[in-house]
Amino acid sequence: MTASAGAAGTRPQGFRGMRDRAGTLAASHRSITIIVGWIIVATALPLLMLVPPFSTFQTQSLWIDGFTNAGVFILLALGLNVVVGFAGLLDLGYAAFYAIGAYTYAFAASPTVPWISLHVPFWPMLLVGAAVAAMFGLLLGAPTLRLRGDYLAIVTLGFGEIVPAVFLNADKVTNGTNGIGGVYKPDLFGYQFTLGNPVPYYIAMVAIIAIVMILVYRLQDSRLGRAWMAVREDELAAASNGVNTVTTKLLAFALGASTAGLAGVFTASKLTFVSPDQFSFAVSFTILAMVVLGGMGNVWGVAVGAFLLYTIQSVLLKQLNPFFHTLNVPFLKDIDFVQYQFLLYGLALVLMMLLRPEGLFPSSRRRRELHTEVDEYVGDELGPDPSSSPMEQS
């Protein structure tokens, strides 16, 4: 169970050497790197949107608003990455925790809730929402994480359907399909966030992502993070080395859920509205596609994957039609690209798994794992996953 093997080995020369040294430096001061990196990215992006190819699509303030929404998906992808990328558990109902976070804030801060009327401030509710989502993660995970991975996928899929269904059907508590409106917007030391100005939301989002990212990075290299990777790569070996696999997986599940809770609280306050149809399976699927395309297990890769996919789906796909219309390309101008979004995601997932299972921006460890050739002699039983042996027990 060695940590990153990048620093080991012979010292390369020239550019590679410089890059490696910079990498080592960044790795040893990771929190500072993340904060500096985010400040640079977060200031550069809005400025870049003033430059022609981007500024022709939409105004800067719309871009900033879009980036904030993309930030929600970056948060979700970071959380799901802990579950899928670090611990190797397939969670297909991740949007359920997102929904739980959003409804938690809506219950605590909206005048239109049928059974209660509170106005709890936004910032503590961020933590409460995360905690409530984590609690549900524990509740769902405790009985089911003993099961083998693919059963977990189905249980979470079912959970992801149950939660919006409960919010939809329990209309005396949640207003059913109409949702809860008028959710209070955040304020900070008397400064009130407004719908017209996207910049405060943007800054808040960048700060939240930076904090979550630092936490995730620190977790990855901690004892727990190494236990996650051990469980992912070989559960049996991890267990015989003294890793409590159930607790380890449970913590991954709960921490992943808490990040979704954060994202949910933020979304509820930004949209000032929650309804069950915001949390369908398509959302879980989109987040999964982001994590897989970005590169399971690689924190920056996942963040970039989420950002790119969200921007492509919310801006570029909508712009492609007018674009091909102005160019008058015969076949392409009649295609509604937004309609094919999920078809493209599906194709991307399949092709990615077949051709480049480690994602666009892979973590080196994950890449080695996914490209391990199965030894012909020992056959399946000692393959990359201990539970992949055929059903010899049944």
Q: Name residue, tokens 């100005």.
A: 197
The residue among 159 and 253 lying less far from another protein, judged by its C-beta, is: 159
The residue among 82 and 84 lying less far from another protein, judged by its C-beta, is: 84
List binders of another protein among 50-79 (CB under 8 A): none
Other CB atoms within 10 A of residue 385 CB: 16
Residue 385, token pair as written in the block: 């996953």
The residue among 223 and 334 lying less far from another protein, judged by its C-beta, is: 334
Taking CB under 8 A as the binding criterion, the range among 43-51, 70-78, 98-106, 288-296 that sits at the site for another protein is 288-296
Could you give the string, one character per residue 327-366, with x where binding to another protein holds by CB under 8 A and - elsewhere?
------------xx-xx-xxxxxx--xx--x---------
Burial category of 306 from C-beta neighbours within 10 Å (exposed 0-12, middle 13-18, buried 19 and up)? buried
DSSP-based three-state secondary structure for 43: helix
Taking CB under 8 A as the binding criterion, the range among 69-77, 138-146, 298-306, 316-324 that sits at the site for another protein is 138-146
Could you give the string, one character per residue 92-131, with x where binding to another protein holds by CB under 8 A and - elsewhere?
x---------------------------------------
The β-bridge partners of 143 are: none
List binders of another protein among 160-219 (CB under 8 A): 161-162, 165-166, 169
Could you say whether residue 273 binds another protein (CB under 8 A)? no
Choose, by CB under 8 A, the member of 10, 51, 148, 331 that binds another protein: 148
Nearest-angstrom CA–CA distance, 6 and 280: 40
Could you say whether residue 277 binds another protein (CB under 8 A)? no
At its nearest, how many Å lie between another protein and the CB of residue 341? 8
| Whether the Cβ atoms of residue 310 and residue 73 lie closer than 8 Å to each other | yes
The residue among 35 and 90 lying less far from another protein, judged by its C-beta, is: 90
Choose, by CB under 8 A, the member of 35, 131, 138, 153 that binds another protein: 153
What is the b/e burial string over 18-50, where b = at least 16 CB atoms within 10 angstroms of the residue's CB?
Answer: eeeeeeeeeeeebeebbbeebeeebeebbeebe
At its nearest, how many Å lie between another protein and the CB of residue 388? 6
The residue among 381, 156, 121, 49 whose CA lies nearest residue 265 is 121
Give the number of residues written for the chain.
Answer: 394
The residue among 367, 384, 366 whose CA lies nearest residue 375 is 384
Could you say whether residue 290 binds another protein (CB under 8 A)? no
Q: With CB under 8 A, what is the number of residues at the site for another protein? A: 56
The residue among 37 and 176 lying less far from another protein, judged by its C-beta, is: 176
DSSP-based three-state secondary structure for 98: helix
Choose, by CB under 8 A, the member of 131, 154, 203, 315 that binds another protein: 154
The residue among 384, 82, 389, 87 whose CA lies nearest residue 232 is 87
At its nearest, how many Å lie between another protein and the CB of residue 144? 6
The residue among 29 and 371 lying less far from another protein, judged by its C-beta, is: 371
What CA dihedral angle connects 241, 244, 245 and 251, to 10 degrees? Answer: -130
The residue among 312, 295, 306 whose CA lies nearest residue 369 is 295
DSSP-based three-state secondary structure for 94: coil
DSSP-based three-state secondary structure for 231: helix
At its nearest, how many Å lie between another protein and the CB of residue 68? 27
The β-bridge partners of 191 are: 188
Nearest-angstrom CA–CA distance, 257 and 80: 8
181: enclosing H helix or E strand? strand 180-181
Could you give the string, one character per residue 364-393, with x where binding to another protein holds by CB under 8 A and - elsewhere?
-----xx---x----xx--xxx-xx-xxxx
Choose, by CB under 8 A, the member of 12, 24, 151, 316 that binds another protein: 151
Residue 93, token pair as written in the block: 């109902």
The residue among 194 and 364 lying less far from another protein, judged by its C-beta, is: 364
Binding region for another protein (CB under 8 A): 84, 88, 90, 92, 143-144, 146-151, 153-155, 157-159, 161-162, 165-166, 169, 281, 285, 288, 292, 296, 339-340, 342-343, 345-350, 353-354, 357, 369-370, 374, 379-380, 383-385, 387-388, 390-394
